[in-house]
Structure 1
């Protein structure tokens, strides 16, 4: 028991930054990302001995992370979050102090317009550089479904954020 606990602590410490980055990309919010990582690690900790017996824990942990995200999204969808000031538009003069910031805001806003599953597929495929087969395994989907989500998500991004295509050509 002590050895499993130490193994989990070591794994969580080693993977915390990477899991937090992915969670932030999925949620677009630091606090929600922290909550998502915490919920994921709580669920994983309860089953750690079984998980590590199966070999590499990463696919299982990622699947839990993405499942937790989809569940949270379903619970909170339709809920409007009031803000004191509307966010600056990515193309406005106030936000245009750096091309990278503008691009980052545009990407975040565009990702926010995708379904949670589409966003999960794009993050796994293009941020974490996973294969279609590995993405399908992590999300518990078929490879064809992953391909479909990716195709739909990229088409949706082209529709809602055509400026991203132009930014990609310049890099």
Structure 2
């Protein structure tokens, strides 16, 4: 890779790393797995930088790559045989005075876990990654209207979720 091109790639990595990791966490990966997914995505970006840099919407292209990496990992036998712990890794490393933040993060993760995979992907890309409806549709390869309907169903489900009701002061 030429020095100019490599510098552009390095800038892209520096800007996108935190949001890729965050998106992977909200898509259901644990923090260390999210970092692995983001790294795999960025390696794929490096090997295909010509396509990535010439994409009409680079962010959408990269998030699509992240989703593909996540789907590839989840197809493996290792993922299917994986045992889940009762708590989040973050709960074990949080400072004692951050219990409210940990409880909220746990509630959000549990609520997102209650969504179907397509609805969770739409919510994460639209609200946590902050892509537009059009960009979200491009990433997922679906129509913008489908993004809107999935968001509507997902938000209705989240609004009634028991894990989040404790934080909103609502009741069923």
For the superposition of Structure 1 and Structure 2, which TM-score range results when normalised by the shorter chain?
Answer: 0.7 to 0.9
| TM-score for both structures, normalised by structure 1 | 0.76
Higher relative contact order (CA 8 A, sep 6+): 2
User: 1:73, 1:52 → 2: CA distance?
Assistant: 27
Q: CA deviation at 1:54?
A: 3.4
User: 2:154, 2:80 → 1: CA distance?
Assistant: 20
Residue 158 (structure 2) aligns with: 157
| TM-score for both structures, normalised by structure 2 | 0.76
Q: CA deviation at 1:22?
A: 1.6
Residue 79 (structure 1) aligns with: 81
Distance 1:125 1:82, change over 3 A: closer
CA contact (8 A) 2:111 2:163 kept: no
Q: CA deviation at 1:163?
A: 4.3
Distance 1:82 1:106, change over 3 A: closer
Which moved further from structure 2: 106-115 or 49-58? 49-58
Distance 1:60 1:82, change over 3 A: closer
Residue 111 (structure 1) aligns with: 112
> Which segments of 5 or more consecutive residues in structure 2 lack a partner in the other structure?
89-95
Q: How many residues align?
A: 161
- 1:20-169 to 2 correspondence within 5 Å? 20-75=21-76, 78-81=80-83, 83=85, 86-87=86-87, 98-158=99-159, 161-165=161-165, 167-168=167-168
Encode CA deviations 1:39-72: one digit per residue, 9 max, x unaligned: 1112111110232133552221111112222333
Distance 1:75 1:144, change over 3 A: farther
Residue 11 (structure 2) aligns with: 10
> Which segments of 5 or more consecutive residues in structure 1 lack a partner in the other structure?
89-94
